[in-house]
Chains A and B, each alone.
Chain A
């Protein structure tokens, strides 16, 4: 317990917000008797089962620090499923009791109260959206800032499950996102508020003190630097799995993904991929940190997939998105009961939409399961896009659908300009569609080329109803646009077996290659086209049948 005491003093010294929010009851209790009795009432009003839950939760957590026996699973059940159960039973219409009310139950355990505060805030934000106020948001920023500060300065002596740490980071970014939207809405409102309180709030929003983009980026960078996670990953040193070092390293790792997210949100896709470029084992299933937490795994792949799409690396985008969709399909039981369920469902829908765009612009082979679901969800839209792209006079229908899909599937962008003028989201989508339009002839050209092995340029131009000069340009354009950066396939595909010697580098790595299934060249006035036979995947086929026969033999032996 002495460790916790230390933690407490240092945190409260460091942060004003924290002080005010947590220690109100102890600091002001003489001058503010009325409030104290109110808090007492609140404490006694807590149902017994909740009291019991809180005290045993706190005991378990405090027994973690310094002890060898780590009961992560038990802790996780208190944190996730039991919390949900009690929320459903007692707090469907109200919020969880305030920290002050809980404090006497748990011996004023500072660490527990900070974590409890985060949990209660999450419950409030997800279930009682209307009760979220500016003050609450500002307070929670203070809580996070001081929490991350004490972690990065090594002032903590406790351990939390990775899942929990991810949630802390995830919510940190999520609150930042929603605060930015709130700020933008308030600042762009025409009407000046009349009452003093809202005026003051507006003034504070203008000053951009809490949840500022700069502040969030600095917190993330600081965690990354302090945890030395980049060099640890580059030197392939093992990450520690328990103790306070685990907390720091894991939070450093999640900060990389946080940086990926924030950079994507402000439109810097190169910076986004660069943030996670030290994660070389993205596709590795066993042993990688992101894989320990499903939501983290999914977030990483979604943002990387989106960045690939924007960078015109369609092969990589399809591979990345299909991989995560396949994974989510197969592991439904993990997130079925978690409060992350809705998020995961939405995320996978967004991934399917992105996949539909990528596959329309660059048709290619994709995992059969993923393809089937994709057909169910976006089959009709994909057909419409294809039809429009394959017509000679190219209507804009396809791009209208791409825009619609993108609007649904893109990250929730945050305009870095403050106050925002001009719609940042519109800019992001417009730029993507602009780029897609440059290749509007490609699909149609490919479909014609597939019919021939050798054909004169003029003849084919005739069929496409263009003159030969334009046709030449379009051929060159098809070649030019098909030359894309492709990340080498390491052997660690999503089947899970990995050979570290074959690592191919981070998500940014890759070489230029012909990424389309069309192979042709021009010789004088003749186009020569390679066979369009699809790849035969003998290996997969063999393994599939080996499995099948093994099953038959097993059944016979029974």
Chain B
């Protein structure tokens, strides 16, 4: 191996000597990269994080439970749609999965995926002792996104409970500052912004036939066919 920079996701590392990217030397800088993702919003890098978990598999004695928890929190808050949390679990040794903090995170993840948001907040509150040492995380925005693909309109109380708001004023503020999810509140209802999920759009039926394939028939057959195809193409049935 020559002295080449190692690149994984947005992570770059220039090793001081010839190292392959599977060496234990890459672990420490990757761990720093995880910390950076926690402090700067919007820098989530699942590729680097999953790779770090893989390196932990190769060098089990170097695995840090603390960092594993951080990676899981990042997956919990950023990667719900792409199944990142489960993908991480495939790489975490069973022994580490049964550690108290990790198992609490797995429970939180289950509640999130089952959309039992109120229970999620309950557990989040009671499990704070175990999760105390970890950076705070906030799933309001994620949950709001999930609710917005289900509802057009909903009872304010229901949504407030799901998003863990106690007073109307701060909830209204939240609604007004996130118009990608909400259209606004009115008396006792919350109205969600329209998207392709929470309304019924006319269906487009894909016809997977290549133009070449059509021309094939076109060449083989006579003018009648050609006319037929022209109608067909224009009508887009």
Contact = CB atoms under 8 A, between A and B. Distances in A.
A448 interface: no
A523 B151 contact: yes
B200 interface: yes
A522 B150 contact: yes
B47 interface: yes
Contacts of A536: 205
Contacts of B147: 476
Given A473-B115, A473-B116, A477-B113, A310 B87 contact: yes
B150 A491 contact: no
B208 A489 contact: yes
Interface stretch (B49-57, B66-74, B170-178): B49-57
Interface stretch (B25-33, B36-44, B89-97, B129-137): B89-97
Contacts of B22: 214, 217-218
B237 to A, nearest CB: 5
Interface string A392-422: 0000000000000000000000001100011
B196 A514 contact: yes
For chain B, give the interface size range. 35 or more
Given A269-B90, A310-B90, A438-B113, A485 B82 contact: yes
B47 A274 contact: yes
Given A483-B197, A519-B200, A538-B237, A270 B58 contact: no
A283 to B, nearest CB: 11
Contacts of B83: 310-312, 435
B140 interface: no
A485 B82 CA distance: 7
A535 B237 CA distance: 11
A493 interface: yes
Nearest to B146: A480
A416 B151 contact: no
Contact of A417 (B93, B155, B232): B93
Looking at chain B's contact residues, the main secondary structure is: mixed
Interface in B193-221: 196-200, 203, 205-213, 217, 220-221
A524 B90 contact: no
B208 A416 contact: no
Contacts of B125: none
A428 B89 CA distance: 9
B158 interface: yes
B89 A483 contact: no
B61 to A, nearest CB: 10
A267 B57 CA distance: 10
B100 interface: no
Given A479-B149, A480-B146, A524-B153, A438 B46 contact: no
Given A271-B50, A512-B81, A528-B200, A481 B60 contact: no
A185 interface: no
A507 B221 CA distance: 37
B206 A311 contact: no
B2 to A, nearest CB: 9
Contact of A431 (B90, B196, B237): B90
A488 B222 CA distance: 34
Contacts of B212: 497, 499
A538 B82 CA distance: 33
A417 B60 contact: yes
B164 to A, nearest CB: 15
Interface string A474-508: 11110111010100010111010101000000000
B190 to A, nearest CB: 10
B154 interface: yes
B115 A218 contact: no
B54 A514 contact: no
B104 interface: no
B50 A270 contact: yes
B77 interface: no
Q: Which of B151, B203, B217 has the largest number of chain A CB atoms within 10 A?
A: B151
A539 B86 contact: no
A540 interface: yes
Given A267-B91, A476-B147, A480-B113, A521 B57 contact: no
Given A269-B90, A422-B95, 13 more contacts: A214-B58, A422-B94, A428-B90, A435-B86, A475-B150, A476-B146, A479-B149, A483-B81, A483-B197, A485-B82, A520-B200, A525-B155, A543-B213
13 contacts: A218-B20, A268-B90, A269-B87, A270-B47, A310-B87, A416-B54, A476-B115, A480-B150, A485-B81, A493-B208, A514-B197, A519-B200, A539-B207
Interface of B: 1, 20-22, 46-47, 50-51, 54, 57-58, 60, 80-83, 86-87, 89-91, 93-95, 110, 113-117, 146-147, 149-155, 158, 189, 196-200, 203, 205-213, 217, 220-221, 232, 237
